[in-house]
Structure 1
Amino acid sequence: MSILHPYFIVAIVYMLFFSIQEVFGRKVDKKWFWFLGIYLIILVGFRDNVGPDYGSYKGLYIYSDTKSYYSIFMKMLHMKGPDQLEVEWLYTLINKILLNVFNAPFYVLTLVIAICAIFFKIEYTEDNTFYPFTFTLFMFIPYFFVGESGQIRQNLGTFIVYFAIRYIKQRKLWHYLFFIFLASGIHTVCYLFLPMYWLARVPLNKTIMLVLIIISVFLSPFEIYRVFGSFLDSMASDNILVNGLNGYMYESTERLNGGFGIPEAMMMILTFFLFTFDTKMKEKYPYYEYHRNYAVIGICFYFIFRNNPVFSSRLVGAFVGFSYVLIPNTMYVVSSGVKKMIYAFIIALVIFNFVVFSSFINIKVGRFTIELYKNHILP
């Protein structure tokens, strides 16, 4: 069993301290959440050869300078330019400007991406839960290491979309479309969120949710996603980055052939919370229905794409990231005794994820251990 670097343990202890306060005391001032964000920006933005795809992204950074601005502009218009762009136009443009104009070292790119991602993450979390520290702690392992420190393109793109939920609530279609446009310029998977402006308001009840989930489980062995051909491949694939993801998020042969693993357990937990607290959440939590609809889509997508390790992590993960906010939010609508039980369950999951992440190859492959983690400015 490997141990996370103390820098990450400090972040966990900090989140736990304020999590207890916000759940059992009073609301914590947002400035303390921003202090956490700044600290995480330093950890991920200035990392040195840390993260499962660090080398791949560094290669893309250098290669981006060979692309012309005209080709980037044509890619933005979804037209073909003289140069073939391996990744999306906005991400390529950020790379090219930093390297071509400022001749910046690679850690400047990771810093810029980290600042943007953490900003949108904080704003989204503050907008959608009364327990931001608890939710961030709950999602920290492994999502911080897979997202902010790993698949930085999809992570940034999805958090831009998460941030744009505020415009669904405000019914500002053009604002929402603008942020979808930006997010898809970072990662094409964000196009999947385009219909959510309308789907978020579709009325669902427990019967409809159950039927949709059962149908998805039934369809799982048939791999119906293959009818979409290269369309989904282009959304989920990062070319040279796919190998980095598959090596980092190891999928056992047994699980892909019908076994039961941690992803299935998390889907069961999410489904349990979805059905158990649906009535109370509809009555007491604002805009709960939006997150419920995202959760149902995420669960259904998971089972439909289950036999493909890339689709079931990339495409599904984007939706499930929305829906996990439901779990801490249930504490807002229950009695004091039930709140304590839910909180104890969340902390137990955090401890479980910590042990699993430290026990498997993930922590070493990503170089997050006390021996391997390096930072350009921290000792």
Structure 2
Amino acid sequence: MSLLHPYYIIAIIYMLYFSVQEVFGKKVEKKWFWFLGIYLILLAGLRDDVGPDYGSYKGIYIYSDTKEYMDIFRKALHIDGSENVDLEWLFALINKVLLNIFNAPFYLLTLVVAIFAIFFKVEYTEDNTFYPFTFTLFMFIPNFFIGESGQIRQNLGTFIVYYALRFIKERKLWHYLFWIFIGSGIHNVCYLFLPMYWLARVPLNKGVMLLLIITSVFLSPFEVYRVLGDVMNDVSSQSMLVEGFNGYVEESAQRLNGGIGIPEVMMAILTFFLFVFDTPMREKYPYYEYHRNYAVVGICLYFICRNNPIFSSRLAGAFIGFGYILIPNAMYVVSLNMKRAIYSFIIALVIFNFVVFSIFRNIVAGRFTYELYKNHILP
């Protein structure tokens, strides 16, 4: 068993302190959440050779500088250029500008990406829950290590479209389309969110949700996602990053052949909250239905793509991130005793994730331990 670097433990203690305040006291001022955001930017943005994907992104950084600006802009407009750009246009452009114009060291790229990712994360979280510290604490392990400190392209792209949820609420289609365009310029998984402008408002009841989820579980062994072939491969990943991503994955033969693991348990927990608290959430929580619909899409995608750990984590995970916000939000619509029970459950999950992350090879593979973590400015 390995232990996270004290920098991460400080963040956890900070979140826990304000989490108790916001759940059982009064609303915490946003500035304290921004202080957390700035601290996380330093941890993720200025890390030095930390994260299994660190080397892969260094390779992308150098690769981007070999491409011409016109080819990158043609990529943005989906026009074939004289030379293919095998990378999303906006991420390639950011890399190109930093290296070609500023001759910036690689850690400035991770810093720039972390700044934008945390900005969109803070804004999305503040917009969609009364418990931002609790939600961030709940998602911290493993999401911060897989996202801001790992798959930085998908993480940034996903939080851009999370941020764009505000334009679905405001019914501003062109604003939403603009941010989908920007997000897909970072990672093309964002294209999957395009229909959500309409699907987020589709009315669902418990019967329909149950039918959709059961159908997805039934389809799981048949690997129907293979029908889409190269489309799924293009949207989910690039080969240069798969090795780095696998540094996070602790899969067994039993797990891939129908066994039940932590992801299935988490899907069961999210499904439980969907059905048990659906009625009070619809009555008392603004825009609950949007998050519910994202959660249902994510659960269905997970089971349909379950036999492929890349698809089931990257594609489904992008939607499930929306869904998990329902768990702390449920505390807003229940009695005090039930609120205490839900909060205790959330903290138990945080402790469980901490222990599991410490036991599995993830923490060492990512270099997140006291002995391995390095930072360009922090001691």
TM-score with structure 1 length normalisation? 0.99
Cα separation, 1, equivalents of 2:212 and 2:248: 31
1:93 pairs with 2:89 = no
| 2:122 corresponding residue in structure 1 | 122
Moved more, 55-64 or 248-257: 248-257
Whichever residue aligns with residue 118 of structure 1, its letter is I
Q: Matches of 1:27 and 1:237 in 2, distance apart?
A: 40
| Deviates most, 151-160 or 245-254 | 245-254
Offset, 1:84 = 1.9
Query: Which residue number corresponds to residue 82 of structure 1?
Result: 82
Deviation of residue 186 (structure 1)? 0.3
Q: Residue 279 of structure 1 corresponds to which residue in structure 2?
A: 279
Cα distance between partner residues in 2 of 1:280 and 1:200: 19
The amino acid of 2:273's aligned partner reads: F
- Give, as a single letter, the amino acid of the residue that structure 2 aligns with 1:37: G
1:266 deviates by 0.0
Aligned-pair CA distance for 1:247: 2.7
Does structure 1 retain, via aligned residues, the 8 Å contact 2:160–2:179?
Answer: yes
What displacement does 1:82 show?
1.7
Distance 1:327 1:363 in 2: 26
Q: Which residue of 2 aligns with 1:206?
A: 206
Note the alpha carbon deviations across 1:187-235, whole angstroms, 9 max, x for none. 0000000000000000000000000001101111111111101001001
Q: Secondary structure at the match of 1:240?
A: helix
2:83 and 2:45 map into 1 onto residues whose CA distance is: 29
Q: Offset at 1:87?
A: 1.2
Q: 2:338 — aligned with what?
A: 338
In the other structure, the counterpart of 1:217 is 217
Amino acid aligned to 1:260: I
CA contact (8 A) 2:46 2:375 kept: yes
Matched, 1:37 2:37: yes
Mapping 1:43-54, distance limit 5 Å: 43-54=43-54
CA deviation vs aligned residue, 1:163-193 (integer Å, no higher than 9, x gap): 0000000000000000000000000000000
What aligned pairs does 1:9-20 form with structure 2 within 5 A after superposition? 9-20=9-20
Cα distance in 1 for partners of 2:171, 2:62 equals 41
Inter-partner Cα distance in structure 1 for 2:325 and 2:272: 14
Moved segments of 4+, more than 4 Å: none
Write the distance in 1 (CA, Å) between the matches of 2:215 and 2:257. 19
Size of the alignment, in residue pairs?
Answer: 379
Map Cα deviations across residues 249-306 of structure 1 (whole Å, 9 max, x no partner): 2222111100000000000000000000000000000000000000111111110000
Counterpart residue number, 2:28: 28
Paired position in structure 2 for 1:357 = 357
Give the match for residue 161 of structure 1: 161
**Residues in 1 aligned to 2:277 and 2:250: alpha-carbon distance in whole angstroms:** 33
Q: 2:254 matched to which residue of 1?
A: 254
Residue pairs, 1:289-300, within 5 angstroms? 289-300=289-300
Q: Flag structure 2 segments of 5+ consecutive residues without an equivalent.
A: none
Residue in 1 that maps onto 2:307: 307
The yes-or-no answer on 1:194 pairing with 2:194 is: yes
Contact 2:250 2:360 survives alignment (8 Å):
no
Instruction: Indicate conservation of the 8 Å contact 2:158/2:190, yes or no.
Output: yes
Q: Distance in 2 between matches of 1:85 and 1:157?
A: 18
| 1:3 paired residue number | 3
Distance in 1 separating the partners of 2:217 and 2:181: 32
The equivalent residue for 2:373 is 373
Provide structure 1 residue ranges, at least 5 long, that are not aligned to the other structure: none
TM-score (norm 2): 0.99
Q: Is the 8 A contact 1:135 1:325 kept in 2?
A: yes
1:179 aligns with 2:169: no
CA distance in 1, matches of 2:247, 2:164: 32
> For residues 238 and 140 of structure 1, what CA distance do their matches in structure 2 show?
25
1:8-35: per-residue Cα shift (whole Å, max 9, x none)?
Answer: 0000000000000000000000000000
CA contact 1:64–1:96 (8 Å) conserved in 2: yes
- RMSD in angstroms over aligned alpha carbons? 0.5
Secondary structure of the corresponding residue to residue 239 of structure 2: coil
Amino acid at match of 1:261: G
Q: CA deviation at 1:83?
A: 2.0
Of 77-86 and 144-153, more deviation after overlay is shown by 77-86
The whole-number CA distance in structure 2 between the counterparts of 1:89 and 1:121 is: 22
How far 1:43 sits from its partner (Å)? Answer: 0.5
Name the CA distance, whole Å, in 1 between partners of 2:46 and 2:246.
24
The 2-side partners of 1:20 and 1:241 are apart by: 38
Contact preservation (8 Å) 1:138, 1:350: yes
Deviations 1:112-146 (A, max 9, x none): 00000000000000000000000000000000000
1:86 and 1:239 in contact (8 A); partners too: no
**In the alignment, residue 133 of structure 2 is paired with which amino acid?**
F
Give the drift of 1:238. 1.8
CA distance in 2, matches of 1:186, 1:178: 13
Amino acid at match of 2:238: D
Query: What is residue 323 of structure 2 aligned with on the other side?
Result: 323
1:108 to partner: Cα distance = 0.3
Q: Residues 138-164 of structure 1: CA distance to partner in whole angstroms, max 9, x if unpaired?
A: 000000000000000000000000000
The residue type paired with residue 248 of structure 2 is: Y
Q: Distance in 1 between matches of 2:146 and 2:80?
A: 32
Q: Secondary structure, in 3 states, of the residue corresponding to 1:248?
A: coil
Deviations 1:65-115 (A, max 9, x none): 110001101100112112221210000000000000000000000000000
